[in-house]
Amino acid sequence: MYYLGIDLGGTNIVAGVVDEEGNIIVKASCKTNIPRSQEEICDDMAAVALKALESAGLTKNDIGFVGIGAPGAVNGATGVIEFTNNFNFHNWEIGKMMQERLGVDIYVENDANAAAFGEFTVGAAKEASDAVVITLGTGVGGGIIIDGMIYSGSNYAGAELGHMVIQHGGRQCTCGRKGCWEAYSSATGLINMTKEAIINPYNNDSILYKMIDGDTSKITGKTAFDAAAQGCEVGKAIVDEYISYLGTGLVNIINIFQPEILCIGGGVSSQGDALLNPLKKIIESERYTKHNDKQTKVCLCQLGNDAGIIGAAFLGK
């Protein structure tokens, strides 16, 4: 049996054919090219889906359904995206529109939830019934699995974990609040911290400064970690600050949900043990249940950028 998942992003539309074990057999993609109409985007999603099936030697008759992971507040019961700020659409009947184009059942879920479901189904959280998945990218994405089910909240906008405040009156967040976890713990937050350090003239002699020739446009989410690995004190101070903020949010999540597994993914997670080991120390020292025999396992995600496709592909299961 094969399945097909679509990851609808603000930059790319990617469709993948997935087997029973969660292996992606083939992928097809195109640019999203927003702003565009709902009809145009659905036309391209259908075209990419059919292209992926053709490349795998299959037709839509070989699959029972198509799953879609999309940004925004997604009503999985109706297949309607009630609001997505990336596309600026309200009440987008994406399920109905895609069913008309492909002639198969369509399942729709928030993209972060779909990624979490992928990790839960065949990835790092596959042995858990309760799990939280955090992705550290442009923002901080969150997905929550409770008793094997995706938790979406009463209004389908649940699991926006990046928008809990960890610093009252702190950094401005894109959501309009100040001090959100996302403003400190996303890759964007890490980049901003690194830029602020480089602007300080006292750091002009640092390894970090020399790595980028003083050009802040060269800073990425890896820069501070790379500098710290070379013994740069400035880089180490940035990394320590970043991890302290990230750890604060993770402890909050563990204290609230007490999941069996908490998985960390996204671009920043590529730092591996340099990120995970100090995070575990913070969690062990600050979590509420430090004297309980059963503790949340903290680990890295396994599926990378394919988690959303795999999770979407399995939504109908």
Residue 126: predicted pLDDT: 92
Largest interatomic CA distance in the chain: 65
Assess whether the region 2-121+306-313 and the region 127-301 belong to the same CATH fold: yes
**What's the pLDDT band for 299 if we cut at 50, 70, 90?**
very high
The answer, yes or no, to whether residue 78 has pLDDT greater than 90, is yes
d(C-alpha 174, C-alpha 192), whole Å = 14
d(C-alpha 15, C-alpha 36), whole Å = 19
The answer, yes or no, to whether residue 292 has pLDDT greater than 90, is no
Tokens for 149, please give them. Answer: 């089910």
Q: How many CA atoms lie less than 13 Å away from 209 in the CB half-sphere?
A: 14
Q: pTM of the predicted model, to two decimals?
A: 0.88
Residue 150: predicted pLDDT: 93
In tens, the pLDDT along 206-254 reads 999 999 998 999 999 999 999 999 999 999 999 999 999 999 999 999 9
Tokens for 4, please give them. Answer: 């097909």
In tens, the pLDDT along 124-166 reads 999 899 999 999 988 898 999 999 999 988 888 889 999 999 9
Kindly state the average pLDDT of the residues 14-21: 95
Tokens for 126, please give them. Answer: 């596959």
d(C-alpha 117, C-alpha 125), whole Å = 9
Burial class (CB in 10 A: 0-12, 13-18, 19+), 118: buried
Q: What is the mean pLDDT of the chain?
A: 94
Residue range 127-301, CATH number: 3.30.420.40
Kindly state the average pLDDT of the residues 6-33: 94
Torsion of CA 281, 165, 178, 161, to 10 degrees: 90
Residue spans of the domains in the chain: they are 2-121+306-313, 127-301
Residue range 2-121+306-313, CATH number: 3.30.420.40
- What are the φ/ψ torsions at residue 151 (nearest 5 degrees)? -95, 120
d(C-alpha 184, C-alpha 268), whole Å = 13
